Amino acid sequence: MDQSTITGLIALSKRNDEKAFRKIVEYYQSMVYSLAFRILCNEEDAKDLVQETFIRVWQHLSSFDRNRKFSTWLYKIATNLCLDKLKSSNRNFQNTSMDDTLTNFINSEDIEQTIINSELATIIHNLTNELTPKQKIVFTLRHLEELEVDEIVEISGMSADKIKSNLFLARQTIRKKLEKY
């Protein structure tokens, strides 16, 4: 979808056009899910976060500055929600038992995708579980979402130096973990 189409859909959505907003959601939901899944390492949490992100977008669309890039604004909302979730949950990642895993696979509509997501979540979590929430956000945005530092500055509100510092520490932590393997 080109920028002029997105701008048009945003303008219509600001006038409470639900069909236009649905097109925005359909276009961007996989991007938001990917980000949320990579940060939270949990399918259900990522799905919930996608919903919460688009609820917030709908509620605050009138405040969107059309001179900014919509995807950056969307990343900012999703990233802040992920950061809140990471800070509030302080949950420990536990490997599920084989029975739980099999139950999840059997109940899944797409078994192959569930297996891939489960394996990916385990790998990402194992590599990033010792990172602070900010390091995890910055690392995910830079290396998994492949965003540039200036866009991460806008999304996170951190300075470029702070982002680079967090990236350095995150890479150092992950490198040490990889050396163990």
Condensed to tens digits (0 to 9), the pLDDT of residues 42-53 reads 889 999 999 999
Structure-model confidence comparison of residues 181 and 75, the more confident one: 75
Range of the domain at 13: 1-93
**pLDDT interval class at 106 (50, 70, 90):** very low
pLDDT for position 105: 38
Is position 104 within any domain?
no
Task: Tell me if the pTM is above 0.85.
Answer: no
CA atoms within 13 Å, Cβ hemisphere of 142: 20
Arithmetic mean of pLDDT over the chain: 84
d(CA 106, CA 134): 35
* Res. 181: pLDDT tops 60: yes
> Has residue 89 been placed in a domain?
yes
**Residue 81 belongs to domain with CATH number:** 1.10.1740.10
Judge whether 179 lies within some domain.
no
Q: What is the pLDDT of residue 34?
A: 92
Helix (H, G, I), strand (E, B) or coil at 179: helix
Query: pLDDT band at residue 174, thresholds of 50, 70 and 90?
Result: confident
Q: Is the pLDDT of residue 141 over 80?
A: yes
**Residue 117 pLDDT > 70, yes or no?**
no
Q: Is there a domain that residue 41 lies in?
A: yes
Instruction: Report yes or no on 84 lying in a domain.
Output: yes
Q: How many domains does the chain have?
A: 1
What percent of the chain is modeled with pLDDT above 70? Answer: 83
- What would you report as the CA-atom Rg of the chain, rounded to the nearest whole angstrom? 18
Domain presence at residue 77: yes
Selected residue with higher pLDDT from 67 and 54: 54
Residue 178 lies in a domain: no
3-state secondary structure of 97: coil
Note whether residue 180 is domain-resident: no
